[in-house]
Amino acid sequence: MIKGQVIPNYATVANILSICAGLGEIVSYRYGKEIHCYVLRRAELGSEVTVFNALLSFYLRLGQIREAESMFRRMKFRDLVSWNSIISGYASNGEWLKALEMFREFVVVEKIEPDSVTLLSILPACALLSNLHAGKQIHGFVIRRRGLFEDTSVGNALISFYAKSGCTKAAYLTFLLIPQIDIISWNTLLDALRENKLETQFSEVLSSMFQEGIKPDSVTILAVVRFVTSLSIIDQVKVAHGFSLRSGLLLSGTEPTLTNALLDAYAKCGNMVDASKIFESLSRNRNVITCNSMISGYVTNGLHDDAHLIFQSMPEKDLTSWNLMVQVYSQNQFPDEALNLFHELQYHALKPDDMTIMSILPVCTQKASLHMLRQCHGFAVRACFEDVHLKAALLDVYSKCGNVSSAYKLYKSMPRRDLVVFTAMVGGYAMNGMGEEALGVFYHMLESGVKPDHIIITAVLSACSHAGLINEGLVIFDSIE
């Protein structure tokens, strides 16, 4: 085309960039840069903001956020599409603060009026930044603009923003004030109520939805299934399952997300018979999540041989699959099998996570191997695992291996300590006959404002008993409400 002296226009550039974006990251980037250079050499193209918007969109699709930012700053002319692209690009690449800063520059400095596309990008960023103030300001702006206020997608984004910010009441009020609500509005509110464990409100909103004649979709039923699963209400799981079947939401060939959730619900409620029926019905449509849910259900219900059979039959396994089986072997006194799986998952190029380390730690105790424990601890440090419960588990195993000094050193290094950590340290001292030290940690916990439970009370009383600290134990016992 170029050799034939035909001059490309905006449509040509946009179309060719779209094709380039699907060629693989390295090839796409190279061709995109060539097109970018060609555009800069052609004055008639270089003056068109639409051409640069196409380039901007191309770089953002490839995740080349710095390249996009650099080009955006050099653009002589920018329109609403340009700003929307860069704000959306920052947000979709996890740079939420930059997205918010760009939005402020766009509104305050450039004084350009945002549209629904802008708000659909920036509201999730506000939620992820926990910036309630910015989100409320945007909400106020929306109310003052009738066109935006009547846009259901913007209203849904506001409901989602408040829900993710933990402001369930504000999410509900926003839902009530939206002029036009759709199934997404209902689903967003239901999911917010489920996440915040507001059982009564969830049931009321669901009833209102049915009363208004709104037909639930798979997302609605998914929220219901997860809600009743969290409450372990097996009868309601069956009701949701029946509705899904009658509504055709579980037809073969559809995405197994809802079916997986139902399987998981039955398994968590201890009904492995119905879970197995669903699993068998998915013989042609299973994925890794399906198999992991089944393994988890078998493990939870003590059916370890069945879990092993599913694991062995899986054509593909992810880290969760391996972690579950390592956990099965380590918790059932099969340390060698657990270790073999631990090494095998790494052979398959999977990188252990904090759950893997948590699962393998019982093996250190079973083999009384301080060396192995230190290897696990070192791996956790190098991988920058900061999970407080993993550290508490490491602390506990150090104590069980008789190395209380290392346990205490780990305890002291932790900037945040919760009840689990204090319990592990008190228990560690108790099992090693160090009553006074256990008391010291217990009283430090009380001074920190952490409320004890029956587990740590039992541990500290045991420490007092074994150390002959009868009076101290009686004082603690008498203080129990």
Q: What is the mean pLDDT of residues 385-409?
A: 89
pLDDT for residue 4 = 46
Q: Is the pTM of this model over 0.85?
A: no
pLDDT for residue 68 = 78
pLDDT single digits (tens) 24-62: 555 465 665 656 555 555 545 555 677 777 777 777 777
Q: In whole angstroms, what is the distance from residue 454 CA to residue 461 CA?
A: 10
Q: What is the mean pLDDT of residues 305-321?
A: 91
Predicted confidence (pLDDT) at residue 391 exceeds the cutoff of 80:
yes
Q: What is the mean pLDDT of residues 216-241?
A: 84
pLDDT for residue 1 = 45
pLDDT for residue 187 = 92
pLDDT single digits (tens) 177-192: 888 889 999 999 998 8
What is the number of residues in the chain?
481
Amino acid identity, position 284: R
**244 in Cβ contact with 221 (< 8 Å):** yes
Predicted confidence (pLDDT) at residue 299 exceeds the cutoff of 80:
yes
pLDDT single digits (tens) 59-87: 777 777 888 788 788 777 888 888 888 99
pLDDT for residue 75 = 79
Q: In whole angstroms, what is the distance from residue 163 CA to residue 178 CA?
A: 15
Q: In whole angstroms, what is the distance from residue 11 CA to residue 36 CA?
A: 14
Percent of the chain past pLDDT 70, that is, above it, reads 89
On the 0-12 / 13-18 / 19+ scale of CB atoms within 10 A, 414 is middle
Work out the pLDDT band at 7, boundaries 50, 70, 90: low
Half-sphere exposure of 118 (CA within 13 A, CB side): 23
Work out the pLDDT band at 5, boundaries 50, 70, 90: low
End-to-end CA distance of the chain, in Å? 85
Q: What is the mean pLDDT of residues 118-141?
A: 91
pLDDT for residue 423 = 92
Work out the pLDDT band at 21, boundaries 50, 70, 90: low
- Poorest-pLDDT segment among 22-36, 368-382, 424-438: 22-36
pLDDT for residue 36 = 58
**Angstrom distances, CA of residue 480 to CA of 117, 389, 456:** 57, 26, 12
pLDDT for residue 24 = 55
